[in-house]
A and B are shown apart, each in its own frame.
Chain A
Amino acid sequence: MAAVRRWLFEPVPRGRVAAFRTLVYLFVVADITVVTPWVRTHADVPGDLYQPLLVGRLLPLPTPTPLLVHGIFWVLVVASLAAATGRAPRALGWTVFALYFEWMVIAMSYGKVDHDRFGFLVALAVLPTVGRARHGDATPTEAGGWALRVTQIAVVCTYFLAAFAKLRFGGVDWLWSSVLARAIIRRGTDFADLVAQVPYLLIAAQVGIVAFELASPLIFVLKGRRRYAGIAFFYSFHLFTYAAITISFAPHLVAMTSFLPLEKVRPLEWLRARVRVAQT
């Protein structure tokens, strides 16, 4: 138990939290403007088609109108950009979490729920709890360590529990079913059409996917370079998925950066150093 607790609260440098925070909040802006712009189009969809999710009925959240959708959109853009600077991390962090969550209810209450952002929602929920964190600050923080750890766990759960969903909904037959062929027919790229013609390759891919999902928690056993290699493999899985059926799982990919030493990525510092060199 003590070992689990130590692992759960393993400190990380404050600078890592600062970098992750900036990335996450900038992605909120990218998500609502570029990555999933269709959410905003629900403003023009008749209210009759709104079938609120359980959480939307419990709270109870209002039926989206153009005013509500566009209002949330603009407040979210401004609040996320402000939060990305690291200022007022609690007030702005909770505001972004609440608004983005409502944005998700607007997104998924019209007959289709996506499964690509559990880790990202966890990141948004825990980032405000860390408090202040400056870029480049090497001071270890337990609160920050917990925030990154639970985001990592959520990311791995997205893979690991997906294997159980396949067993529950598809059964063992999923392994040799035509699920990937069907996905490719519906939204396959030219690359996917090429792959689909190779006999049994799709079935082999299905077996590989389940093996990968079941093995994904092993990422926590790996250390150092091996862990980064594992994360690179996770990313490459999504690269192939995108190349085949143009599904990106973008929010999940952002949450997955919680495994990386982000404090070493200092674009503003690099830029400043360059300017300094240019001036001398």
Chain B
Amino acid sequence: MDTLTTRGRAARLLATVATGALLLAGTLWGVDDDFPFGPFRMYSTAPGSDEPAPDTRVEGVDTTGAVVSLTERSTGIRRAEIEGQMAAYEADPSRLRQVADAYVARNPAAAALVEVRIVIRYEGVRDSRPTRTHTDEVVAAWRP
């Protein structure tokens, strides 16, 4: 049997209580920025039962006129990361240049982009169920 020394126990007890206190404080007052002690707020918002659901996408138009979907795979930027910095993109659409740059860095052979835009598709919801109807809205667009 491996037993702990009194000091070993005390140190572990202290670490347990301190970590627990940080996590509890993070849950009550913290934000995501306090990672890893922020609140476990996955899916914690409460959209109304008839409130349309926003579905964000980023797309580009290349020199051939084709619409290219700018996803995590093609740019290295996750959709949730675009949404997390949405206010900054709306205030200054030229920030979309960084998405275009990231696309070029990962796809050097692809046709150049002449426009990059963030589109939100609002899917209809009724009684907390999707109605399978939608409307699109361009919230930020940038042309080089």
A residues neighboring B (CB under 8 Å): 5, 8-9, 11, 14, 38, 41-46, 48-49, 51, 53-55, 104-105, 108, 110-118, 121-122, 129, 139-144, 146, 150, 153, 157-158, 161-162, 164-166, 168-171, 173-174, 176-186, 193, 196-197, 199-200, 202-203
Contact = CB atoms under 8 A, between A and B. Distances in A.
A12 to B, nearest CB: 10
B60 interface: no
Chain B interface, DSSP helix/strand/loop, else mixed:
mixed
5 contacts: A43-B76, A111-B81, A165-B44, A179-B43, A183-B43
B39 A168 contact: yes
A118 B36 contact: yes
A199 B80 contact: no
B53 A110 contact: no
A165 B36 contact: no
Contact of B46 (A8, A38, A161, A174): A174
Given A111-B84, A171-B46, A53 B3 contact: no
Interface of B: 1-4, 8-9, 12-13, 16, 19-20, 23-24, 27-28, 32-36, 38-51, 53, 55, 72, 75-78, 80-85, 95, 98, 101-102, 105-106, 123, 125, 127-130
Contacts of A139: 1-2
A88 B33 CA distance: 34
Interface centre among B27, B34, B50, B82 (most CB of A within 10 A): B27
Contact of B48 (A43, A114, A177): A177
A153 B98 CA distance: 41
Contacts of B13: 5, 8
Nearest to A116: B42
B3 A142 contact: yes
Contact of A165 (B40, B50, B83, B128): B40
A208 to B, nearest CB: 14
B130 A185 contact: yes
B44 A49 contact: no
Contacts of B123: 185
Given A104-B35, A183-B43, A118 B23 contact: yes
Nearest to B72: A38
Contacts of A193: 130
B125 A142 contact: no
A14 B47 CA distance: 48
Contacts of A186: 53, 55
Contact of A113 (B32, B46, B76): B32
Contacts of A158: 40
A263 B76 CA distance: 40
B140 to A, nearest CB: 14
Contacts of A164: 27-28, 39
